[in-house]
Amino acid sequence: MASMTTRSDNPASSRFPVGRQAFPHRDLTGIGRLQRHEILFLLAEAQQWVEFNRQSAKHGDLLTGLTVINAFFENSTRTLLSFEIAGKRLGADVVNMHAAQSSVKKGETLIDTAITLNAMRADAIVIRHGSSGATQLIADQVDCPVLNAGDGQHEHPTQALLDALALREALVARGQSADDFTGLTITICGDILHSRVARSNLLCLQALGATVRLCAPPALMPTGIEAMGAEVHHDFDAALKGADVVMMLRLQTERMSGQFIPSPREYHHLYGLTKRRLGYASGDALVMHPGPMNRGVEIDSDVADMIDRSIITRQVEMGVAIRMACLEVLTRARRGVKGWS
């Protein structure tokens, strides 16, 4: 069995407060609830799992005997798979509950579903739901830690954390300091209005010191988003000037009712990331995308697949490590880890 560390023998631990003071939250329902040092703590904890996951043997026993329920009321293949792999690599019993199999389809209320899950004595519940606030509603009804895997247009905290970890890894690989993102300019372009990923990334990246530009057609930009500290742009070329990182988002047509864009072709002309357009950013700007990608709409294949610039596959890899870290940290009290009860 591969060796696994806990916070007491993780070298990064000495940078943070001892025990539960490092991360005092029972749940992870949003980035907006976290302090900067708490975000950095989760990133540091995830780093050991990055190395662990690159070993040939990737199974440990820290969560042996614990049950993790992945309750997905909204479909997402990659997020569900990432959480499932994370739980199993930590040794937990992982149960996936899909919306199509849920009693919610039969008329059960979300609170009744939460009470049912709680009665099953789960040790952690991962929730994905199409309604903003649903994750917090369930967290208020259960006795175990709850992780938000995306709720409506609200937040997707583990996506923002994995994006930050992927970015930090890429910067370190280039020989750059990455204790935080002070001095970085990051442009996020796409369907900002419907994107919980954009909201969580805005909160996370700003907390780590980055300047964040948001770019979208007027119809896909939330009203008043400037109040969250973002620079708002509708001209993609202008938003790209000097950017160190460009993160593209897909059009979430499943959340749209009505005509938000003239056509995919016109959208690509104005807001698609092409090699020519990437030239407006800094000379070595990194390219990111949380997936799934619509190639030829928001991003061209020759940009998405750039070996020296795109870190899209690295984002996927970091997802497992971040989710392992979150599950391990949030279950420490239940496992009786010293200083976490």
288 sits in which H/E element: strand 286-288
| pLDDT for position 253 | 65
* Cα–Cα distance measured from residue 36 to residue 229, given in angstroms and rounded to the nearest whole number: 16
Q: Return left, alpha or beta for 94; rule: phi > 0 is left, psi -120 to 50 is alpha, else beta.
A: beta
Distances (CA, A) of 249 to 20, 199, 260, 264, 310: 35, 12, 15, 14, 14
Q: How would DSSP label each residue in 303-337?
A: HHT-TTTB-HHHHHHHHHHHHHHHHHHHTHHHHT-
Per the DSSP assignment, residues forming a β-bridge with 96 are 70
Distances (CA, A) of 45 to 48, 69, 94, 198, 324: 6, 22, 21, 23, 9
Residue from 40, 120, 128 nearest 84 by CA: 128
Beta pairing, strands 231-233 & 67-72: unpaired
CA angle 10, 40, 161 (to 5 degrees): 110
| pLDDT for position 221 | 95
Determine what percent of the chain falls in helix, strand and coil, rounding each to the nearest 5: 45, 15, 40
Q: What is the pLDDT along the chain (341 residues), one digit of tens a residue?
A: 344 545 445 655 568 999 999 999 999 999 999 999 999 999 999 999 999 999 999 999 999 999 999 999 988 889 999 999 999 999 999 999 876 556 566 667 888 888 999 999 999 999 999 999 999 999 999 999 999 999 999 999 999 999 999 999 999 999 887 778 999 999 999 999 999 999 999 999 999 999 999 999 999 999 999 999 999 999 999 999 999 999 999 987 665 555 567 788 899 999 999 999 999 999 999 999 999 999 999 999 999 999 999 999 999 999 999 999 999 999 999 999 999 98
SS3 for 234?
coil
* Contact yes or no for 127/30 (Cβ under 8 A): no
In degrees rounded to 5, what are phi and psi of residue 188?
-110, 120
Beta pairing, strands 245-248 & 286-288: parallel
Locus of tokens 């490590």: 321
* Cα–Cα distance measured from residue 51 to residue 66, given in angstroms and rounded to the nearest whole number: 23
Residue type at position 313: T
* Cα–Cα distance measured from residue 41 to residue 125, given in angstroms and rounded to the nearest whole number: 21
Instruction: Return the biggest CA–CA distance within the chain.
Output: 58
| pLDDT for position 15 | 82
Query: H helices of 120-195, where?
Result: 134-139, 157-173
* Cα–Cα distance measured from residue 216 to residue 8, given in angstroms and rounded to the nearest whole number: 45
**Could you give all domains of the chain from N- to C-terminal order, each with its CATH number?**
7-156+317-335 (3.40.50.1370), 158-316 (3.40.50.1370)
| pLDDT for position 177 | 77
Radius of gyration, CA atoms only, the chain: 20
| pLDDT for position 103 | 58
